[in-house]
Structure 1
Amino acid sequence: MPETTTILDEHPDLRASLHDLYRHLHSHPELSMQEEATASLIEERMSDLGYEVFRCGGTGVVATLRNGEGPVVGFRADTDALPVEEDTGLDYASTARGTLPDGSDVPVMHACGHDMHVTAAIGAATLLAGDRDAWSGTVVFLFQPGEETAQGAAAMLADGLWDRAERPEVIYGQHVWPGVTGTIDLTPGPAMTYSDAWRVTVRGRGGHGSQPESTIDPVVLAAHMIVRIQSLKSREVAAQKAAVITVATIHAGLKENIIPATAEFTINMRNLDADVRDHLLAGLRRVILAEAMASDAPEPEIEEIYTFPLLVNDEDETATVLEVLRGALGEEEVHEIPAVMGSEDFGALPDAIEVPGVYWFFGGLTREEVEGEGPTVTNHSPHFGPQLEPTLGVGVTAAHAVLTARLAPRA
C-alpha cells in the first residue's frame, strides 16, 4: 500500500496541535453524559475559531459558522468514553476513573475512539474557518455526548436542538474502527442495526441449597430462559435475515449453598429489519414469561435499558460522498461494505428533521495488526489504540472534503 497523504501534510502546525489535542483527550476520558471537561474544551476551541457555540443536551456542544449565502451542512462527532481499564501501553494512556449511575467506581478509557472523532472534527472546523474565501454557506458541528448509552442524541433533541440550531440539509458523521489505517468503508442504505437492551430480573423463592424442593430456583430458571432465547434467531427468523441476540451478563446469589430469591441477566439484540425486530422483541418477552410460568415462578421484571435506531445512509448522498472521498484519498482506499452489526444513535439526528444522513468508517490499525496472526483488536477492547497517523489525517481529510464539496464554492 502506498504511503497515505492527507490534508494535514499541507498544515504541519495544525497537525502538531491536533496531535496534542488528541493525546490530551485520550488521557482525560469521561463517561457518557458526564463529559463536562471535554465539552468545555470543545467550547473554547470552537469559540476561538469564530464559531457560535452553545450547550445542548447537558454536555453536548453545537458550534455554527455562518459564511454567507449557501447550503447548511451538519457534521456530528461523539464525545463519551467507556468503563474500560486501558492496556495499550501508550505513553498517553488513560488512568482516569469515573462513577457509573449505580455508584460504581470504574476505570475510564476512550476504547471506542471518540477522542479521534472530536479531534478530526475540530481539525476540519479549523480548516474551514481558516479558508472562508473558498466556500459559502453554514456549517453546524454537533459534538454529541452519550453515544455509548443511546442517551446523547435523544438528550440534544429533547433540549430543542433543531429549534435552537440551523437545520442542515444533510448531516455527516464518521467512526474510527479496526480497518487498515488510510482506508475508508461506507455502506449505502441500511448501514448499522437497531439495538435493544433489556435487564431481566428473574424472581424465585430462596432457600437452603440442600432443600431445592422448597424453593423456586431463579438460577436454573434464568438458565432455561437464556438457552431458549437463542433459539429465537435460529428457529424463528429466516436464514437470510441478519440478527444477533447476546446475553453478556448474569448475576445471582452470594453463597454456594444458598439458593437466591432472584437472578438478573441482560440481553442485547441487533437486527436490520423492523419486522424482524418486532418479532424478536415479542419473542423475547414470550419466552421469558412462559419459562417463568413453567416453573411456577412469579412474573419476571423486564426493564428496557436503551434502544438504538436503525442507521440508514441516504443512497443518493452516499454515492456523492463515495465520489468525494475517492477523489480526496484515492479509489483503492475507499470501499463499499455490507452493513455492520454495530449500532449508533447518529441516525436520530437527521431522522428528527427528515434530512439525509451519511456515516462512514475510517481505519485505525496497521495492515499487520489487521491481517496478521491472532485476533484483531476491536473497538471497546482495553488494547484499542489507533495509529495516530495517518488515521487522524484521514479523518480530517474526509470530514473537510465532504463538507466543502457540499457547501457552495466561492466564485
Structure 2
Amino acid sequence: MDRVSPAAYSGENIPVLDGLTEVLRPAVALYLDLHRHPELSGEERRTAAALGEWLREAGYEVTEGIGGHGVVGVLRNGDGPRVMIRAELDALPMTERTGLPYASEGPVTHACGHDLHLAAVAGAASLLARARENWHGTVVVVGQPAEETLAGARAMLEDGLYERFGRPDTVLAQHTAPLLGGMVAHGYGPMLAGSAGFEAVIHGRAGHAGTPHLAVDPVLTGAAAVLRLQGAVSRESAPTEQVALNVGSFHSGTAGNLVPERASLGITVRALSERALDRMTGSVERIIRAECAASGCPREPEITVVSRSPVTHPDPAATAAVRRAHVELYGPERVAVWPPAMATEDFPLYGDAGASVHGMTGIALSYWMLGTVGPKTWARTPGTAEEKLVALPPNHSPEFAPDVRTALPTGITAMTAAALVWLRTDRSRAETGAAAATGTAPR
C-alpha cells in the first residue's frame, strides 16, 4: 500500500496546543505516580491500567491485554489518516539513586524515561481529544509492554494490533536523551543500532579442584570465549563500521574447591547495519563452538538467540516533515541533529522491518530524541556540549533523572505537533494540494 504523504505543517493547527496548561498538571501527576511505581517487562499491570483510565477519561475507546499488558486507545474523528503514537510501559531491574522525593523504592526504576514517554503521550492524546475541531482522522495510542526485553512490539503485532485497530499511515515515537531540556533532536539515516542477544550454555565435566585433569573446566572455556569474542569487533569488522559486542553476564560454579559442570554467558551484539549484525551473530556462534571444541567439552554448547531488534531507520520524508513542524514550533535553536547511537529499540518492527510479522509495508516511522537535562544541571556540568553528554547520567543509569518541568511540556507538544503533520483539516489539505499544484508548497 502506498504511503500517505505528510502535509506541510500549518499554523492553523497551533490552537490545539492552547489546552496545554490544563493538561500539564494532571500529566505531571501521572508521571510522578508512574515513576514511584515502576514495573518490570511483562509485569506492567498497574501502569497499563493507569494509561487505560487516562485514555477512557479523554474519550478514547480502550482495549487492554494486547500482546501481554499492551493498551490501545482509539479516537476516531472523521475521514483522514490513521496516526499511531507509541510509548512504553516497562522499567528496569535496578535500584534508583537519584535522591528525588518521588524516587521509586526497591530494585526497579524508570531509568530509561518510559514514564516520561507515557506521560507525554497521555498529554498529547488529551490535547488532540480536546480540540477535535482542528483536525480529521484517527488517533491510535499504543502503550507497549516489554520494550526493555525487545519482546513487546512483536507480541502486540502478533496479537493482531494492525488487523484489530487498523493499518496506520504513520507511527510516531520519541525517546529521552541527556540533551538540554526543551530540545528535540532528529536523525537522518540509522538512528539506533540493531541488536541480537544470546544466552550461551557451555557444558563441562564436573570434578575436584585437586584433580582438574579429570574434569573439563567450563569456566576456562567461557573465559577464553569472552576474550576471543572481542576479536570479532577488532578483527572481523571494518574500522568504518559501528559495531559493539558485550558479555554482560558470566555465571558458573558454587564453590572454589570444585570444577563446575556448566557455565552460562549473556552476550549482546549491536550494529548499524543488518549485514554487520548478521556477521557478528555468526561470529558469536562460531567462536563459542570453537572454544568448546578446543577444550574437549563433552557436549555441544547450547546457544539461544533470546532477542533481536532491527536497526532504527526512520522514514526520511516523515522525519523531514516532523522536524519542520518542530522548528516552526520551537525555533531552530531547540531542534538538533542526532548522530547514530548504539542503543537499540524494537520500534522498527512497527514499520517495514516488521513486515514478516504484520504483513504490511509502506508504514512511515518517525522517531526523535527528547531532551531531559534541566538548565541548572546543564550549566554547572563543565565542558562542551559533547563533553556534557559524556559527563551527565545516561539512560540506564541509576542516577538518570529527567527534569520534568522542561522535558514533559516539550514531550507533550512535540508529539502533538508531530501528529498534526498528518491529522490536518479539510481546509489545510485543500490548501496544501493547491500550493503543490502551483509550486508554492511550503518547504
**Can you list the C-alpha shifts for 1:86-117, whole angstroms capped at 9, x where unaligned?**
11111111115xxxxxxxxxx21111110101
Compute the TM-score of the two structures, normalised by the length of structure 1.
Answer: 0.93
Find out whether 1:166 has 2:166 as its counterpart.
yes
Find out whether 1:376 has 2:386 as its counterpart.
no
Which is richer in helix?
2
Q: How far off is 1:375 after superposition? A: 2.9
For the residue of structure 2 that corresponds to 1:384, the secondary structure is coil
RMSD value over aligned CA atoms? 1.7
Compute the TM-score of the two structures, normalised by the length of structure 2.
Answer: 0.86
Q: How far off is 1:370 after superposition? A: 5.1
Asked if the contact 2:45–2:69 (Cα under 8 Å) also holds between the matched residues in 1, the reply is yes
Give the partner amino acid of 2:424.
A
Q: How far off is 1:14 after superposition? A: 2.0
Asked if the contact 1:8–1:14 (Cα under 8 Å) also holds between the matched residues in 2, the reply is no
**Can you list the C-alpha shifts for 1:300-347, whole angstroms capped at 9, x where unaligned?**
111211111221111111111111111111101111222111110111
**Partner residue of 2:22?**
13
Give the partner amino acid of 1:179.
L
Q: How far off is 1:58 after superposition? A: 2.0
Asked if the contact 2:203–2:300 (Cα under 8 Å) also holds between the matched residues in 1, the reply is yes
Give the partner amino acid of 1:291.
E
**Can you list the C-alpha shifts for 1:283-308, whole angstroms capped at 9, x where unaligned?**
11111111111111132111211111
**Can you list the C-alpha shifts for 1:26-82, whole angstroms capped at 9, x where unaligned?**
111111121111111111111111111112112111111111111111111111111
In structure 1, C-alpha distance between the alignment counterparts of 2:282 and 2:85, rounded to whole Å: 36
Q: How far off is 1:237 after superposition? A: 0.9
- The gaps in structure 2 that reach 5 residues or longer are 1-15, 383-389, 428-443
| Residue correspondence of structure 1 range 17-56 to structure 2 within 5 A | 17-55=26-64, 56=66
Q: How far off is 1:179 after superposition? A: 1.5
Q: How far off is 1:166 after superposition? A: 2.2
Which is richer in strand?
1
Give the partner amino acid of 1:393.
P
Asked if the contact 2:17–2:127 (Cα under 8 Å) also holds between the matched residues in 1, the reply is no
| Residue correspondence of structure 1 range 266-345 to structure 2 within 5 A | 266-297=266-297, 298-345=299-346
**Can you list the C-alpha shifts for 1:245-299, whole angstroms capped at 9, x where unaligned?**
0001111111112111111111000001122122111111111111111111132
Give the partner amino acid of 1:59.
H
Aligned with 1:406 (options 398, 407, 422):
422
For the residue of structure 2 that corresponds to 1:266, the secondary structure is strand
For the residue of structure 2 that corresponds to 1:87, the secondary structure is coil
Q: How far off is 1:404 after superposition? A: 1.2
| Residue correspondence of structure 1 range 226-237 to structure 2 within 5 A | 226-237=226-237
**Partner residue of 2:439?**
none
Give the partner amino acid of 2:259.
I
For the residue of structure 2 that corresponds to 1:216, the secondary structure is coil
**Can you list the C-alpha shifts for 1:144-178, whole angstroms capped at 9, x where unaligned?**
11100111111111111111002211111001121
For the residue of structure 1 that corresponds to 2:404, the secondary structure is coil
Aligned with 2:368 (options 355, 360, 365):
360
Q: How far off is 1:243 after superposition? A: 0.3
Cα separation, partners in 2 of 1:207 and 1:370, compared to 1, 3 Å? farther
In structure 2, C-alpha distance between the alignment counterparts of 1:8 and 1:319, rounded to whole Å: 21
In structure 1, C-alpha distance between the alignment counterparts of 2:151 and 2:62, rounded to whole Å: 21
Asked if the contact 2:191–2:314 (Cα under 8 Å) also holds between the matched residues in 1, the reply is yes
In structure 2, C-alpha distance between the alignment counterparts of 1:36 and 1:71, rounded to whole Å: 31
**Partner residue of 1:211?**
211
Q: State percent identity of aligned pairs.
A: 39
**Partner residue of 2:115?**
115
Asked if the contact 2:338–2:369 (Cα under 8 Å) also holds between the matched residues in 1, the reply is no
- The gaps in structure 1 that reach 5 residues or longer are 1-6, 97-106
For the residue of structure 1 that corresponds to 2:305, the secondary structure is strand
For the residue of structure 2 that corresponds to 1:226, the secondary structure is helix
Give the partner amino acid of 1:317.
A
Asked if the contact 1:230–1:245 (Cα under 8 Å) also holds between the matched residues in 2, the reply is yes
In structure 1, C-alpha distance between the alignment counterparts of 2:195 and 2:319, rounded to whole Å: 23
Cα separation, partners in 2 of 1:410 and 1:66, compared to 1, 3 Å? same
Aligned with 1:77 (options 77, 87, 105):
87
